[in-house]
Amino acid sequence: MTTDAFLAARPRVRPDLVLGPSLLRGPTRIHLLKDPRTGRRLEVGAKEHFIITRLDGTRSLEEIGQAYSGAFGTRLGEAQWGQMLRLLGTRGLLDGGPAPVAPTPVPTPAEGPSGFLSGHTRMVADAPALMDRLHRLTALDRRPALLAVLTALAVGVLALVAVSAGTLWRQTVHTAEQPVLLFAVGCVLWCSLALHELAHGLFARTWGGRVSEIGLRWILGATYLYCQVDDVQFLGSRARKVATACAGVLANLLFLVPFYVIWLVLPADAQARPAFGALLLLGVVTGLANLLPLAPLDGYRALGHALGVSGLAEGSRTFTALAARALLRRGPGLRAYPPRLRLLYGGFALLTAAQTAALLALAGLVLRHLLPDGMALLAWWLPTALLAAALLLWGLGNLGRRLRGRRTEESAEGRTEGRTESRTEHPSEDRTPGPARSAAPTSPSAEPGHVTGVRAPLDPARKGEMNEPHAQTGTAPGPVATTEPVVVLDGVIKRYGEVTALDGVSLTVRRGEFFGILGPNGAGKTTLVEIVEGMREADGGTVSLLGQSPWPRDTALLARIGVQTQASAFFARLTAGEHLRTVAALYGTDPDAVRIALERVGLTEKENARVDHLSGGQRQRLAIATALLHEPELIFLDEPTAALDPEARRELWALLRSLRSEGRTIVCTTHHLDEAEALCDRVAIVAGGRIIALDTPRGLIRALAAPARLMLPATELTAEAALALPGVDRATVEGDELVLETSAVNHVLTALGDLVDIESVTVRTATLEDAYLSLTGHGTEHRS
């Protein structure tokens, strides 16, 4: 197809795709998208959103491209269009394309395995059906009057309780002196939690949301019911989302209505009256407390929906940490945050601090009234001490994770040594049994086979919220305009004692890119990649991997990346199929993934061959199949063609190109410059811990501005005669060859055609290797 015909095409995305709202996450704006056929939810950046919303079958690619360049100042070339359409096509999002494949069902996201201390259990076999029935019964969307009456009743209870607050407080104090009675009140209030959760689900269902699970959670002896709602962000207006977040409190207040009536009709001296009074006061207080804008309460969710922000608390934490580092003159500062966002995230941090202080003071006040006078000091300090203990536990938990991470780092160092050896020996020694770096542990929140159209999938998380990864840092324009940043490094520093391995490295890798990292031995490539993979902690700067910080290690994040290492990580005495099935079991991946991975790398016939009987090229393919098993969004390749013969290298290149054309993002370190030139969209050249050049291979070669070299037998022409030709800059005799240097190859070739046998002329233009050698100072001249 010609370029004109291609650009005249008018493809369209499937009309049934549901476009969700645009949300702020950290300093970045994201757009949500849902595929109703698979239930997959996607997250796209502003540029993808711009294109997807215009791919409606009425506009040509040319027209959309023009609008795009007007909006973003970047032209979309045929290659970028091809990539974008392939991405959409392979995810089944284009109209008339192949049917989308539903993701492999995975366990409830964001839930760890259940144990004695913490866990969860499903309590309703078919939660969506139950919610459908409730929805039909209540039909809140068709009965606004019913909603108004319920709201009025709830407000009425609130007002009446406020009016009788003094009496209710005295009755609560009286009840608190009788632990059994207080426990009974607590039990009744606990039951109202079920209504609270069902109300969230019912409101969401009313506006098209889906309740996927109803169950019971427990943590350290405390139990509570939950109702997991998916798709809250797709409920339409912000008002609906806010109403869904507040519905639980509405149910809490309505639950109190009959108890208020009983309390009202009971004689003043009835023995049970104080207990009902306590129930009313505590019910209202706990209900209203839930509306505080403090994570993870309902009020916090409502505020996030009202402001159109995803992960407000997380964004605020990141912002505060960045601000603190900026004060110490460390880190990238707050460049990415315009004043409005500084106000938002800074304001929320202050609000959280103020609320925490106020709640501590209030708790102290209440305890002061409840405890005897001799315990006044304890009353004031107990809440603060409890909070400090909770924070300490949290901190210790984090420390534990860090220490575990460090242990992983140490074992990574061990593997690094093994890897260095395997570069010089044979890359397939069975040194370490186990999948090592390429085997991220199974995570229930991982979504194997759930690679999204253009960006990470969203995990339906607790209580109807979607996964809210950390904020991403800014985007820089690159050659692949249709992609979003998946790896962002900003001023990353890493020292090993006196050695500064990375000295302020900043770069961005975008989705769908084949990104090469080149550099001489000891340049810092391995350190750089391991920091991005979350195997090492940077000493300075920020790192974002798929929108999140890779350190401390996060198993859910690990499941989204694939790492191909040198082949030292194989179960060598197993067959290729057994090895892959073992790794697939570790990931919790569908066993079918093994067949697919073998097919993809062309090793189907070697499924039953022992790993240690495979050739070098086959083992490299197996390493790639291992990295692909769980359908990662981002693949790290470490010298994928090391120690392969030229034919095996070319075969592997074809495989890598096919991975690239599937829209996968690939980060590849290599010492083979021809490989980088043939495969990479962009390459970063690292030397002395710094990025000394970052561009497309062509761009680097162009920047070198090296002349082309034409070589012909010296017997054909003299150097003087050659120099007289138009366009020849230099002519030298090297051995039995005459070498001409020129920037006008075609002119010189035409002129030469009249003088010599043109078949005897060899042309050599500059290569990436020339640019590399020139940049790294290992060669200042254009070599032949």
Of 7, 256, 487, 501, which one interacts with ligand ATP (CB under 6 A)? 501
537 is a contact residue toward ligand ATP (CB under 6 A):
no
Write the binding mask 243 to 262 for ligand ATP: x where contact by CB under 6 A, - elsewhere: --------------------
Judged by CB under 6 A, which stretch of 118-126, 281-289, 517-525, 766-774 contacts ligand ATP?
A: 517-525
- Interaxial angle between packed helices 238-265 and 298-307, expressed in degrees from 0 to 180 and rounded to the nearest 10: 150
Q: Select 190 or 496, whichever has its Cβ closest to ligand ATP.
A: 496
Candidates 523, 593, 628, 728; binder of ligand ATP (CB under 6 A) is 523
Q: Are 177 and 114 in contact (CB under 8 A)?
A: no
Q: Helix, strand, or coil here: 490? A: strand
Question: Which of 296, 522, 591, 779 forms a contact with ligand ATP (CB under 6 A)?
Answer: 522
User: How far, in Å, are 122, 201, 301, 330, 496 from residue 288 at the CA level?
Assistant: 28, 19, 14, 41, 52
625 vs 644: CA distance, rounded Å: 17
Residue 521 interacts with ligand ATP (CB under 6 A)?
yes
Of 525-533, 604-612, 727-735, 768-776, which segment contacts ligand ATP by CB under 6 A? 525-533
The strand order across the sheet containing 210-219 reads: 118-122, 210-219, 222-230
Q: Please identify which residue in 212, 318, 443, 526 interacts with ligand ATP, judged by CB under 6 A.
A: 526
Q: Which is nearer to ligand ATP, 428 or 527 (CB)?
A: 527
Q: Does 780 bind ligand ATP (CB under 6 A)?
A: no
Q: Which long-range contacts (CB under 8 A, 24 or more apart) does 338-347 make?
A: 338/27, 341/24, 341/27, 344/24, 344/307, 344/309, 345/312, 345/315, 345/316, 345/318, 345/319, 345/320, 346/316, 346/319, 346/320
C-alpha 217 chain-centroid distance: 27
131 or 684: CB nearest ligand ATP:
684
341 or 505: whose CB is closer to ligand ATP?
A: 505
Q: CA angle, corner 507, sides to 501 and 508, nearest 5?
A: 140
User: Residue 49 or 419: which CB sits closer to ligand ATP?
Assistant: 419
In the complex, minimum distance from the CB of residue 537 to ligand ATP, in angstroms, rounded to a whole number: 12
Q: Does 189 bind ligand ATP (CB under 6 A)?
A: no
Between helices 165-176 and 273-289, what is the axis angle to 10°? 110
Amino acid, single-letter form, for residue 711: M
CB of 60 closer than 8 Å to CB of 69:
no
Collapse the DSSP code of 12 into the 3-class scheme (helix H, G, I; strand E, B; otherwise coil) and give the result: strand
Nearer to ligand ATP, 501 or 611 (CB): 501
Query: Could you tell me the CA-to-CA distances from 570 to 38, 59, 265, 509, 567 in Å, in that order?
Result: 35, 51, 76, 29, 6
- At 486, give phi and psi (nearest 5°): -115, -25
Question: Which C-beta is closer to ligand ATP: that of 34 or that of 525?
Answer: 525
Interaction between residue 643 and ligand ATP (CB under 6 A): no
Among the listed residues 62, 63, 413, 662, the single contact to ligand ATP using CB under 6 A: 413
Question: Residue count at the site for ligand ATP (CB under 6 A)?
Answer: 12
Piece of the chain touching ligand ATP by CB under 6 A; list 285-293, 338-346, 358-366, 495-503: 495-503
Q: In this chain, which of 135, 196, 510, 525 binds ligand ATP, going by CB under 6 A? A: 525
Residue 233 to residue 466: CA distance in whole angstroms: 8
Residues of span 709-748 touching ligand ATP by CB under 6 A: none
| CB of residue 671 to ligand ATP, shortest distance in Å | 7
Q: How many residues does the chain have?
A: 784
**Taking CB under 6 A as the rule, does residue 427 contact ligand ATP?**
no
Residue 95 interacting with ligand ATP (CB under 6 A) = no
Element (H, E) at 691: strand 690-695
Chain residues binding ligand ATP by CB under 6 A are 413, 496, 499, 501, 519, 521-527
